[in-house]
C-alpha cells in the first residue's frame, strides 16, 4: 500500500517555528520516523513538503494514479486554498487532514478549513506523533 | 501491571441508533490498550447520574478520550457546563482527545464538542471506530514519552 504524506508551507521550519505550539522535532525527524514505521506496517511511505500551493496540487494530482492514502498537512493553505480542496476531491484514495496543533482552539481565522470538506478524516492537536498514529491506524481503516 | 490509564468517556443518548455498538468499541479498545500495556476504563454518559461521576473518574486517570456521538449532537453538554464538568477536566491538565466517528468538520459551521482552549483537546474526526484506535495510540505514545 502506497501512502503519501504532504506537508505545506512553513512545516519545513518545524523544530524552530514556535516550538511551544509545534514542538521541537524537525520535519526531517518526523519523515524518517514515518518512513521507518511504514516499513514495519507494510506501507510504502513517501514524504514531500512545499511552501508553494501549485506544487502541492501537482503532487496530489500525481498521486491519483499510484497512491492508496494521503495524509496532508496543508499548513495555512488549509484556510485559504479552494484549489487544494478541488485537487483533493479528485483524489479517490483515503484522505486524512492533519494538523500538529488544534486550529479550532487558536485564532478565528484558523477555524475555517477548505481541506476538511474534501477529506475522509481530520486529526488535529495530537502533536507530531499524529503522523505515526495515522499511519498505524490506516490498515485498520482501509480493512473496514 | 499497567502504570498509566486512559479513560474513554462516551456521551451517548439513551434513545437513537449509535454508529457502532458499544460492545464493538469496548472490544477494539481493550485489545489495543492490552497490546500497548496501557490501562483503560470506559464510562458511558447518558444520564445526569453518569455525568456527575466524571470529575471523580477523571481524578484517577492519566489521559482522556471524549466521544460525543453524532446522533446525540449536544447531548448533556448544557448540563455538563452547568455542573462545571469541563472546568474540572481542564483543571486536571491531562491530555484529552475528542473522537467523532463521522467527519463532523466536513459540515458547514460544525465545531468540535470541546472547543475551549482551556481544555486544549485534540480531535480525531471521520475515521469511524478506528478513530478510537488512533486516539489511544497517540495518547499511549504521549504517556510513555515514546517517540518511536
Q: In this structure, what CATH number is given to the domain that contains residue A133?
A: 3.40.50.9100
Contacts 24+ apart (CB under 8 A), A58-65: A59/A4, A59/A6, A60/A6, A60/A84, A60/A87, A60/A88, A60/A90, A60/A91, A61/A87, A61/A90, A63/A4, A63/A91, A63/A93, A64/A90, A64/A91, A64/A92
Residue A7, pLDDT score: 98
Query: Does residue A79 belong to the interface with chain B, where contact is any CB pair within 8 Å?
Result: no
pLDDT of residue B76: 67
Predicted pLDDT at B72: 52
Please tell me which residue in A77, A85, A99, A131 is annotated as part of the active site. A99
Active-site residue flag, A99: yes
- pLDDT tens-digit series, residues A78-100: 999 999 999 999 999 999 999 99
Highest mean pLDDT among A22-26, A62-66, A125-129: A62-66
Please, what are the domains in chain B? 5-144 (3.40.50.9100)
Task: Report CA torsion sign: B93, B76, A97, B102.
Answer: positive
The number of folded domains in chain A is: 1
A contact test, residue of B106, B131, B146 with most A CBs within 10 A: B106
| A94 catalytically annotated | no
Q: Which of B96, B105, B109, B140 best tests the A interface by mutation, with the highest count of A CBs <10 A?
A: B105
Average predicted confidence (pLDDT) for chain A? 94
C-alpha cell at A69: 492514502
The verdict on B102 touching A (C-beta cutoff 8 Å) is no
Task: Give the model's pLDDT for residue A77.
Answer: 97
- Residue A98, pLDDT score: 97
Kindly indicate the confidence band of residue A64, based on its pLDDT and cuts at 50, 70 and 90: very high
Which residue from A25, A125, A141 is facing B121, i.e. has the nearest CB? A125
Kindly give the parts of chain B with pLDDT less than 50: none
The answer to whether the CB atoms of B121 and A102 lie below 8 A apart is: yes
Boundaries of domain holding A105: 2-143
Task: Give the model's pLDDT for residue A105.
Answer: 81
Residue A15's pLDDT is what? 86
Amino acid at each position: 500500500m502506497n501512502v503519501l504524506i504532504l506537508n505545506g508551507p512553513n512545516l519545513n521550519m518545524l523544530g524552530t517555528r514556535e516550538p511551544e505550539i509545534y514542538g521541537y522535532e524537525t520535519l526531517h525527524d518526523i519523515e524518517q520516523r514515518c518512513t521507518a514505521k511504514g516499513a514495519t506496517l507494510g506501507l510504502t511511505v513517501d514524504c514531500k513538503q512545499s511552501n508553494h500551493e501549485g506544487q502541492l496540487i501537482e503532487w496530489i494530482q500525481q498521486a491519483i494514479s499510484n497512491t492508496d492514502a494521503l495524509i496532508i498537512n496543508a499548513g495555512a493553505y488549509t484556510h485559504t486554498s479552494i484549489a487544494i480542496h478541488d485537487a483533493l476531491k479528485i483524489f479517490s484514495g483515503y484522505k486524512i487532514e492533519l494538523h500538529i496543533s488544534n486550529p479550532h482552539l487558536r485564532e478565528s481565522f484558523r477555524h475555517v478549513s477548505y481541506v476538511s470538506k474534501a477529506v475522509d478524516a481530520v486529526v488535529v492537536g495530537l502533536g507530531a506523533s499524529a503522523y505515526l498514529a495515522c499511519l498505524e491506524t490506516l490498515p485498520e481503516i482501509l480493512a473496514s | 501491571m499497567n502504570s498509566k490509564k486512559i479513560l474513554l468517556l462516551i456521551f451517548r443518548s439513551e434513545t437513537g441508533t449509535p454508529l457502532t455498538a458499544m460492545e464493538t468499541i469496548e472490544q477494539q479498545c481493550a485489545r489495543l490498550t492490552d497490546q500497548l500495556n496501557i490501562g483503560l476504563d470506559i464510562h458511558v454518559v447518558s444520564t445526569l447520574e453518569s455525568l456527575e461521576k466524571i470529575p471523580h473518574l477523571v481524578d484517577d486517570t492519566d489521559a482522556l478520550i471524549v466521544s460525543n456521538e453524532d446522533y446525540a449532537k449536544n447531548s448533556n453538554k448544557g448540563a455538563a457546563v452547568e455542573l462545571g464538568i469541563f472546568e474540572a477536566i481542564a483543571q486536571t491538565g491531562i491530555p484529552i482527545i475528542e473522537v467523532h466517528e463521522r467527519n463532523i468538520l466536513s459540515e458547514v459551521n460544525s465545531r468540535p464538542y470541546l472547543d475551549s482552549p482551556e481544555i486544549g483537546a485534540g480531535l480525531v474526526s471521520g475515521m469511524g471506530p478506528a478513530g478510537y484506535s488512533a486516539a489511544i495510540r497517540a495518547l499511549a505514545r504521549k504517556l510513555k514519552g515514546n517517540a518511536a
